[in-house]
Amino acid sequence: MPCPNFDCLKKRVTGGSIYLSAEDVTPASDGMRRASNSRSPGPALYRWRLASPCQIRDETVGACTPADFVDCPDVPDRVVVYYVVQRQRLAQADGTPVDGTLPPDGGAPGTPYGPWIGDGQGCIDVTDLNPPPSPDEVFRYFQELPLPELTAQQQPPGNALVGLPVIFYTTDPATQTYTVDIRGFTVTILATARTYTWHTGDGTDLTSTDPGAPYPDQTVTHDYRAGTYTASLTTTWGGTYTVDAGAPADVPGTTTTDGPPTTFTVLQARAVLTDPYD
């Protein structure tokens, strides 16, 4: 993204746009590194920041790749996310250099100096930092939402006839808004029906991106042979979300709901010669 001057760069990298700041990143007793905002005893040599590989690549080339998403083990009651870790030197009170380099202008103790230097990447326990919910974390909540189970309706109502295509549609809402609390963050999720899979009951599945419509605007129809069938609708939901009314982002995945079944009979009409004057 274009930047007009140094101030723009500074705000972008230190304003929290993509990086999660930490006072310390230390190895934990279980071998997993832990980021926190409380410092270890002794003088602090560095300040720290973390960003996901996707965030860094997006900042660099404007897109992410599947390789940027790395799963981390689920640890009960902990937030563990794959991060790239960087650190920056801090000026020392006794004037000693950090990693062999002194501050450029003898800055006050604690003043950051020099470039951000890579310090590895991996699954980091960031529970103490209470970071905003990650897309993956939102997706886990998304999968648990009580999303609507859309009902398939058909025309003609009741019994159908062989040779007269049955029309499928649903009038249930295609969007639904939920507000959930994730670790103190207000996350608003707008769920949207992305695709509709109509199970006709004779082994055929019809897929559409619209909810169908009743006659005469029908878009989803199916021809049956005579018999009794049970049809239903599976809806695939995607969504977008905001954290604390911030910028919307896509929920990284979809989930499905199955609507209630509808049973109907398709009759074979037979021609019968009748006397209209009888």
Interface with other proteins (CB under 8 A): 1-10, 12-14, 59-60, 88-89, 99-105, 107, 111-117
In the bound complex, what is the minimum distance in angstroms from residue 13's beta carbon to other proteins?
Answer: 7
Which residue's CB is nearer to other proteins, number 110 or number 248?
Answer: 110
| 125 phi and psi angles, rounded to 5 deg | -80, 110
**Shortest Cβ 246–other proteins spacing (Å):** 22
Residue at token pair 């599945």: 205
Q: Which is nearer to other proteins, 52 or 232 (CB)?
A: 52
| Token pair in block for residue 98 | 């950090």
Q: List Cα–Cα distances, 112 to 75, 115, 156, 267, in angstroms.
A: 33, 9, 73, 81
| Nearest to other proteins of 68, 202 (CB atom) | 68
CB of 4 to other proteins, least distance (A): 5
Quick one: which H or E segment has residue 258?
A: strand 255-258
For 40, phi and psi rounded to 5 degrees? -70, 160
Only one residue has tokens 């905001």, namely: 242
- Copy the structure tokens of residue 239: 């969504």
Round to whole Å and give the CA distance between 123 and 23: 18
Query: Among residues 10 and 39, whose Cβ is nearest to other proteins?
Result: 10
- Residue (of 209, 175, 188, 197) closest to 251 by Cα position: 188
Q: Minimal distance in Å, beta carbon 110 to other proteins? A: 11
Provide, rounded to whole angstroms, the least separation between the CB of residue 154 and other proteins. 56
Nearer to other proteins, 68 or 136 (CB): 68
